[in-house]
């Protein structure tokens, strides 16, 4: 078990939070992170590209000239794909690029993303996001004191989210607010720094614990044993 400092919005330490090793001390899986980001971005695609086939383009269906006797190549319709302005064969049609992604893999990628942020020193836990007023200036000052960097992801639990936090942070450039139940590995990789409320990380840790497989636990235990052996 590792402890991480819990600070207030002024940057002063107010306590500690215990991180469960089976959740946050796992080996970072780059391949799983790549898969989760690919899935997320695929789901964002609009998929609206479309072309018209010969039944959809404009043009009369009348035969342009008689079949024989003109010396010209035979033609049946002005809408043929062989002609300029004709229909397109096998062109793109509106579709969804989204595909199924196992929840267990998503949770594994989320563990890796959080572990990477912790290892890089880009992870902060605050006791609360509560402020006196819904002022952008107050949150900008708080983030400066937390040394949060140019881009920051704020994560709050759904039961603690209030209007002051939403209104005070929405106009901050390079800052995004998400719920702990909706945070995605892509969010953590996209932003330089992550700031979680204590309630948010507690809720997320409880959720991630449920998806730690026995195989992952055994692998982590072997890795720790090997590391301790090397140190000894």
Same domain, 188 and 111: yes
- Same domain assignment for residues 22 and 56: no
Domain that holds residue 83: 51-91
Tell me: do 173 and 194 sit in the same domain: yes
- Residue 97, pLDDT score: 94
**Residue 23 and residue 85 share a domain:** no
Here the tokens at position 29 are 């899986």
Q: Are residues 38 and 60 in the same domain?
A: no
Write down the pLDDT at residue 11.
86
On whether the CB atoms of residues 13 and 6 are closer than 8 A, the answer is yes
The DSSP secondary-structure symbol of 226 reads: H
Alpha-carbon distance of 78 to 75, in angstroms, equals 8
110 shares its domain with 198? yes
pLDDT at 94: 95
Query: pLDDT 10s digit of each residue in the chain, 232 long?
Result: 578 899 998 888 889 998 888 888 778 899 999 999 999 999 999 999 999 999 999 988 889 999 999 999 999 999 999 999 999 999 999 999 999 999 999 999 999 999 999 999 999 999 988 888 888 998 899 999 998 878 999 999 988 888 888 898 898 899 999 998 999 999 999 999 999 999 999 999 998 888 876 555 555 555 556 556 665 5
Number of folded domains in the chain? 2
Tokens in use for 46? 């609009």
Specify whether 189 is located in the same domain as 79.
no
Rounded Cα–Cα distance for residues 116 and 32 (Å)? 13
Is residue 112 located within the same domain as residue 181?
yes
Q: Do 105 and 148 belong together in one domain?
A: yes
Q: Residue 149 sits in a domain of what CATH number?
A: 3.40.1370.10
For residues 119 and 224, membership in a common domain is answered with: yes
Do the beta carbons of residue 46 and residue 98 sit within 8 Å?
no
How many whole angstroms separate alpha carbon 155 and alpha carbon 168?
14
State whether 85 and 172 are in the same domain.
no
Two tokens at 196?
Answer: 């979680």
- Do 161 and 72 lie in one domain? The reply is no
Which pair of tokens denotes residue 1? 């078990």
């Amino acid at each position: 078990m590792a402890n991480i400092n819990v600070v207030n919005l002024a940057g002063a330490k107010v306590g500690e939070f215990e991180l469960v090793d089976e959740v946050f001390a796992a080996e970072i899986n780059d391949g799983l992170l790549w898969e989760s980001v690919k899935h997320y971005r695929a789901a964002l695609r609009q998929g609206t590209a479309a072309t018209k086939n010969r039944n959809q383009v404009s043009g009369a269906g009348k035969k342009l000239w008689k079949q024989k006797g003109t010396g010209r190549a035979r033609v049946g319709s002005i809408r043929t794909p062989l002609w300029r302005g004709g229909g397109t064969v096998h062109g793109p049609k509106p579709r969804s690029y989204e595909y199924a992604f196992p929840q267990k893999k998503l949770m594994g990628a989320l563990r890796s993303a959080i572990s990477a942020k912790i290892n890089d020193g880009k992870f902060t836990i605050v006791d609360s996001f509560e402020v006196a007023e819904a002022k952008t200036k107050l949150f900008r000052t708080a983030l400066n004191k937390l040394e949060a960097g140019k881009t920051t992801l704020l994560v709050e639990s759904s039961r603690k989210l209030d209007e002051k936090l939403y209104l005070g942070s929405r106009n901050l450039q390079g800052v995004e607010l998400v719920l702990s139940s909706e945070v995605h590995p892509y969010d953590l990789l996209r932003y330089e720094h992550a700031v979680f409320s204590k309630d948010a990380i507690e809720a997320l840790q409880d959720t991630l614990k449920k998806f730690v497989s026995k195989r992952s636990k055994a692998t982590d235990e072997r890795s720790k044993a090997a590391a301790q052996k090397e140190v000894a």
